[in-house]
Structure 1
Amino acid sequence: MKILVAEDDETTGAFIARGLREEGNSVDWVKDGRTALIQATGGDQDVLIVDRMLPEIDGLTLVKTLRGAGTRTPVLFLTSLGSVEDRISGLNAGGDDYLVKPFAYGELSARVAALARRPPTLEQETVLRAGGLEMDLMARKVTRDGVAIDLLPREFAILEHLLRRKGRVQTRTMLLESVWDIRFDPMTNVVETHISRLRAKVDKPFDTELIKTVRGAGYRIDA
């Protein structure tokens, strides 16, 4: 395996690098977050081992930046911050596993091997399209035929839901669960109202209607 270790403590970093190399792995050891970011951005490694308390760029920011840039390499956080809140923040930042110092090398080795065995994560689309409509999920921008469309957050969420399921009918219940996180029918016309507003922005100014009403079923976006 090819492993990148980001650890600023000399003793700990040398200990980890030596142990992993003795097991036949190719190991790069860096001592600050900025260097780690540069080396990890290409996604050439099989596993990243990241200390949270790194100089220049801390471990959480490092992993968040990598995930935002589309790097999906598995990350094992290695840190002395061991509270439940610390673990949660690490996992929410994009970490895949969390090991608290002090640690047994055998456990670290086993966790690294387990991460490397995971099937690769399917890359999720960051730009959704239908006809001349384009939604950039990273930039949070929507255009149609090159014309910018300003959407409110809920309208954006509805359009994203429909675009991800392009060509498939989405019922009112599906939209309520996905966009509003409502697991029951509140007996309001909230879905219909937002669809109407969305159509006024996405369809009305243009020649072709993309958001279709399927009578008695729901809504669908066609390519």
Structure 2
Amino acid sequence: MRLLLAEDDPLLGELIVHMLKKKAGYTVEWVTDGEDAYDYAAASIYDVLILDWMMPGRSGTDVCRELRKDGYRGAVLMLTAKDTLQDRVEGLDAGADDYLVKPFEIDELLARLRALSRRNFAPIQDDTVRLGRYVVHRTNQTVHLGGERIQLSPREFQLLDLLLQNKGMVLAREVILDRIWGLDADVNLKTIDATVKLLRKKLGSSEQDGLIQSVRGVGYKLEHS
């Protein structure tokens, strides 16, 4: 999961970044003011924005409201020490999808991030994507090679599409497990390796051709023009 954290408290920000990376293997970019939060969110793609309510430059609610006004459709989680009903209503009316009151436990933050990521706020960017010799149709979840359809299971397609959407980035096995099966699913990390092996076989690919690369001790990445 790729996250943007906007938090001006250096100790809290450093702790959140460390725990998100260590416990979940997430990719986290951290900014400390509202102006940077808006610029980063507008210029890149994140699974979830984590916005502190009170920040220099712009407040988290101002950033969220402006992004929504500009058509931003990604998930937004608001962090705040404010806990009155009026405050919660203000945050949600600004466009936040969820609300977490400080102080909080990291496990609750992780659970809320997983729930938001499963809701899949991001619109489909391309109905059809070319991947070297392959044509990937996201809407009907099919892959074609030379006009012939390659029969993939739903999990295999989800894995391919996840790697495709994060092309060039190394995805940890834990991240893949969370995004496709869910961390609470009764599967282990070996299931991911087996699914990759089957996906390569069906695509007529191998580790040597570099389509789906193994990163020893970490996970996988997709590298292809």
Work out whether residues 60 and 90 of structure 1, in 8 Å CA contact, stay in contact via their aligned partners in 2. Answer: yes
Task: Count matched residues.
Answer: 123
Aligned residue number for residue 148 of structure 1: none
- For structure 1, which runs of at least 5 residues remain unmatched after alignment? 124-223
Identity rate, percent? 45
Aligned residue number for residue 21 of structure 2: 21
- Counterpart CA distance in 2 for 1:120 and 1:7 is 22
Aligned residue number for residue 85 of structure 2: 84
Aligned residue number for residue 69 of structure 2: 68
Work out whether residues 51 and 60 of structure 2, in 8 Å CA contact, stay in contact via their aligned partners in 1. Answer: yes
CA deviations 1:121-170 (Å, max 9, x no partner) are: 669xxxxxxxxxxxxxxxxxxxxxxxxxxxxxxxxxxxxxxxxxxxxxxx
Larger Rg over CA atoms? 1
The reply to whether residue 108 of structure 1 matches residue 120 of structure 2 is no
How much does 1:73 deviate?
Answer: 1.1
- For structure 2, which runs of at least 5 residues remain unmatched after alignment? 125-225
Work out whether residues 79 and 102 of structure 2, in 8 Å CA contact, stay in contact via their aligned partners in 1. Answer: yes
Aligned residue number for residue 3 of structure 1: 3
Work out whether residues 75 and 121 of structure 2, in 8 Å CA contact, stay in contact via their aligned partners in 1. Answer: no
- Counterpart CA distance in 1 for 2:50 and 2:91 is 13
Aligned residue number for residue 12 of structure 1: 12
The reply to whether residue 36 of structure 1 matches residue 19 of structure 2 is no
- Counterpart CA distance in 1 for 2:122 and 2:29 is 23
Work out whether residues 52 and 60 of structure 2, in 8 Å CA contact, stay in contact via their aligned partners in 1. Answer: yes
1:1-223 matches, within 5 Å, as 1-22=1-22, 23-120=24-121
Work out whether residues 6 and 31 of structure 1, in 8 Å CA contact, stay in contact via their aligned partners in 2. Answer: yes
CA deviations 1:164-208 (Å, max 9, x no partner) are: xxxxxxxxxxxxxxxxxxxxxxxxxxxxxxxxxxxxxxxxxxxxx
Q: Secondary structure at the match of 1:41?
A: helix
Work out whether residues 6 and 52 of structure 2, in 8 Å CA contact, stay in contact via their aligned partners in 1. Answer: yes
Work out whether residues 4 and 45 of structure 1, in 8 Å CA contact, stay in contact via their aligned partners in 2. Answer: yes
- Counterpart CA distance in 2 for 1:26 and 1:7 is 16
- Counterpart CA distance in 2 for 1:62 and 1:43 is 15
Work out whether residues 46 and 74 of structure 1, in 8 Å CA contact, stay in contact via their aligned partners in 2. Answer: yes
Question: Match of 1:26, as an amino acid?
Answer: T
- Counterpart CA distance in 1 for 2:14 and 2:84 is 26
- Which TM-score applies when normalising by structure 1? 0.53
Work out whether residues 43 and 73 of structure 1, in 8 Å CA contact, stay in contact via their aligned partners in 2. Answer: no
Runs of 4+ in 1 over 3 A off after TM superposition: none
- Counterpart CA distance in 2 for 1:63 and 1:39 is 12
